[in-house]
Amino acid sequence: MSALELAGATARLGGRAVLEAVDVAVAPGELVALVGPNGAGKSSAIRALAGLLPLTSGEARLGGDAVHALSGRERAARVAYLPQERRIAWNLPALEVAALGAPFLAGSQAIAAARGALAQVEAGHLVDRGVAEMSGGERARVLLARALAADAAALMADEPIAGLDPDAQLMVLELLRGRARAGQAVLASLHDLTLAARHADRVVVLDAGRVVAEGPPLEALGPGVLARVFGLSGRWMETPEGPLLSGVRYSEGSDGGVRRSGSPSNPG
């Protein structure tokens, strides 16, 4: 049974369809990356699963049950959600922020869970520092620790590595993969296709609210999808560290043809 599942999910925001008949399923032990251009529906899919975006048709399920049939507490036990928004209203110390991931545990247990989670994101040294005195990357780690401290059956992270330095990006992705290996179902939206291909078990490609490809990373992100969805002329290269996308941007020439406009190593 899938821990996270969207079945024929359709949703509208301000009259615009943001999800159209989307099917996504994440099983326990699996790390699935949601990829797609800006506005493709990645955040909407995650928010629908969190019960934050009402569907006009289809269903969002957590552990087999419709998200809207579950109480708030049951939902929280089945999935921890790390939103893209990283603003924290007050200058709380990291330990208190992480402890908010476990609001139903007794104080000392919540603190222990928070300490453990902060250590996992290599932020043990930040325990007592206020979030207003941290860099954006440090704050992102502390917020991830909050989601880890929840110790839910599944974990959803909306762009968890955006704005992080390369070392922290790898740390976060390895951590997410470790959580999946430990049996959690993990769904993360990512922009970096190379990192998605290296770390995810499966990739779901969204475009304009629809799933356009799904499967093992290199199959889902074939040349056709790279061109159609991402506007890239790209190919995958095998390197000792894993697959690497080498691509250039398609741009329409005056003759209607396609010409190369650069050579980014990590496009997207």
Site residues (vs another protein, CB under 8 A):
47, 50-52, 72-77, 79-81, 83, 85, 87-93, 95-97, 99-100, 103-104, 111, 130, 132, 143, 146
Q: Which is nearer to another protein, 51 or 58 (CB)?
A: 51
Residue closer to another protein, measured from CB, 127 or 170: 127
CA–CA separation, 117 and 55 (whole Å): 33
Distance CA 167, CA 121 (A): 12
Nearer to another protein, 12 or 249 (CB): 12
**Least CB distance from residue 229 to another protein, whole Å?**
27
Residue 50 Cβ, how far from another protein at the closest point, in Å? 5
The nearest distance, CB 164 to another protein, in angstroms, is 18
**Residue placing its CB nearer to another protein in the complex, 92 or 258:** 92
| Smallest separation (angstroms) from another protein to the CB of 99 | 8
In this complex, which beta carbon is closest to another protein, that of residue 28 or of residue 93? 93
The residue ranges of DSSP E strands in 94-252, in sequence order, are 154-158, 185-189, 202-207, 210-215, 232-239, 242-252
- Identify which of residues 13 and 218 has a Cβ nearer to another protein in the complex: 13
User: What whole-number distance in Å separates Cα of residue 122 and Cα of residue 133?
Assistant: 17
Phi and psi, residue 251, nearest 5°: -140, 145
In this structure, what token pair is assigned to residue 254?
């005056």
CB 80 within 8 A of CB 150: yes
Phi, psi for 227 (deg, rounded to 5): -75, -50
Q: How far is the CB of 213 from another protein (least distance, A)?
A: 28
CB of 128 to another protein, least distance (A): 9
In terms of Cα–Cα distance, which of 99, 106, 159 is closest to 131?
A: 99
DSSP string, 12-73: EETTEEEEEEEEEEE-TT-EEEEE-STTSSHHHHHHHHTT-S--SEEEEEETTEEGGGS-HH
